[in-house]
Amino acid sequence: MKHPIRQTVLLNSIPVRPLHLLKHIGRLADERGVSVYLVGGVVRDLLLKRENLDLDLTVEGDGIAFARLVADRYGAGLAVFERFSTARLAFPDGLKMDIATTRQESYAQPALLPTVQPASIEADLSRRDFTINAIAAQLNPQQFGRVLDPCGGQRDLRARTIRVLHAGSFQDDPTRIFRAIRFEQRFGFRLERATVRLLAQAASADLIQGLSGPRLQNEILLLFAERDPVRAIARLGQLKLLRFLHRRLCYTKDVEDVLAAVPKALAWWARRFPDSAIDRPMVYLMALSSKSSSTVVAWIIRRLALSREQAKHMGFVGRRVDRALKKLTDKGTAKPSQVYRLLADFSDEALVLLLAKQRSMQHGAHVSLLKRHLVAYVKNKAVKTALTGRDLQAMGLQPGPQYKAILGKLLDARIDGTIKTEADERALVEKQL
């Protein structure tokens, strides 16, 4: 009897608990009379021996019904997205899994989301983005570990190549342009020749203009969340893809220098302030925009449909950072309270950008001075006055705008260390009166 080609070995490198779960899911699939596969990024990463526990499953049959069955058996949380025939499961031990129905897609209009119909696993694989992401491994017990690779994904993994599945791929879905660069950069692969040409054609046909703000934002920020965004950005520049942020985006040597200084600035920040959660992709976007006009920045904010908070970070990139840097490295700004006032409304992301920008100017003394200012500033953010508005009222002061001024003076004096106690504060208030 001939056995199907198996790569049980492949699946056996999955950690023991998820592996157990997958085997059991394969048995459930037999009970249901459906075929179930592990598919996409996780299979690619297994073949590359890279850890990945984003378990994507796809079912030839009713994926959602099957997901309900699995969720029932395991007491897993279930979220169903009917429109995309997918469901997300959250298992009690924290493991997450997506289960989809194998499907075909048709694109009524380029760059818009497709309509989907159920289809065979082969058809499902052939609607995917790149050959390396179009490999499946079956989970049903008799076929456990059987690899389906109709598009030559394993060959391209060995050749370290990113290749689209057909000539219209980027037209169907221009997000694949950014995905191609994301995988190329992440794995250190190369875009296959025809794929580069198709990508360049798609880019020059302005298909990316058709992408909605949220989708473009998602792609850009995912790319900037990779390990080496500086190189990824350089690659975008090389492929003329930065003009999709704005055609007058200023991407000069100076900007490259600021970008190149971001990783070290982020690393310093993380070492100094391990508890602060920095939005790293955002810092790269800010650095990339750091020499563009405020009109261009405002346009990018709209184009990418940035949230209010993201837009606030972007508001620092131009003149505000430059002005702050100038003052901070000026001898006249010596008092801690001055530094505090100067930086008071800066986001942490803007502070990291400040440091990156200073580093890019290669003025060592100023970099150390700025670091000292940043450390002092972050410490001083925790300083509070003992007295409040109510205390001022009790001291006989009429409520009004002067409260803010007086409390501000008290805070400055606390930060500068010229007063230390509540009694000092009271004395200072009395003196002001």
Which residues of this chain interact with ligand ATP, rule CB under 6 A? Answer: 40-41, 54, 56, 128-129, 133-134, 173, 175-176, 179
Full DSSP string of 364-427? HHHHHHHHHHHHHHHHHTT---S--HHHHHHTTPPPSTHHHHHHHHHHHHHHHTS--SHHHHHH
In whole angstroms, what separates CA 97 from the centre of its chain? 20
Partner interacting with residue 280 (select from ligand ATP, Mg ion, none; CB below 5-8 Å by kind): none
Q: Per DSSP, what are the bridge partners of residue 363?
A: none
**CB nearer Mg ion, residue 56 or residue 149:** 56
Residue placing its CB nearer to Mg ion in the complex, 96 or 420: 96
Judge whether 425 and 432 are in contact, CB under 8 Å. Answer: no
CB of 189 to ligand ATP, least distance (A): 13
Residue 93 tokens read as: 């031990």
Residue 309 touches Mg ion, criterion: CB under 5 A:
no
Phi, psi of 180 (to 5 degrees): -55, -45
176 binds, among ligand ATP, Mg ion, none (CB under 5 to 8 A by kind): ligand ATP
| Residue number, 54 or 345, with CB nearest to Mg ion | 54
Minimum distance, C-beta of residue 41 to Mg ion, in the bound complex (Å): 4
Environment class of 274 (CB within 10 Å of its CB; exposed 0-12, middle 13-18, buried 19+) = exposed
Q: Which stretch binds Mg ion (CB under 5 A): 40-48, 142-150, 265-273, 312-320?
A: 40-48
Q: Which does 192 bind (CB under 5 to 8 A by kind): Mg ion, ligand ATP, none?
A: none
Residue 37, classed as helix, strand or coil, is strand
- Contact partner at residue 103 from ligand ATP, Mg ion, none, CB < 5 to 8 Å by partner kind: none
Q: CB-wise, 175 or 290, nearer to ligand ATP?
A: 175
Q: Among 54, 93, 206, 228, which residue sits at the site for Mg ion (rule: CB under 5 A)?
A: 54
Q: Smallest distance, Å, CB 128 to ligand ATP?
A: 4
- Applying CB under 5 A, does 41 fall inside the site for Mg ion? yes
The least CB distance from residue 402 to ligand ATP, in Å, is: 56
* Closest by Cα among 260, 247, 345 to 300: 247
- Closest to Mg ion by CB, 38 or 121: 38
Distances (CA, A) of 55 to 18, 99, 137: 9, 9, 12
Q: Does 218 bind Mg ion (CB under 5 A)?
A: no
Smaller CB distance to ligand ATP: residue 163 or 179?
A: 179
Q: For 243, which DSSP code?
A: G
Buried b (16+ CB within 10 A) or exposed e, 140-165: beebbbbbbbebbbbebbeeebbbbb
Residue nearest to Mg ion (CB): 41
The shares of helix, strand and coil residues in the chain, as percent rounded to the nearest 5, are 55, 10, 35
Of the two residues 239 and 361, which places its CB atom closer to ligand ATP in the complex? 239
Residue number of the CB atom closest to ligand ATP: 41
Which residue ranges make up the site for Mg ion (CB under 5 A)? 41, 54
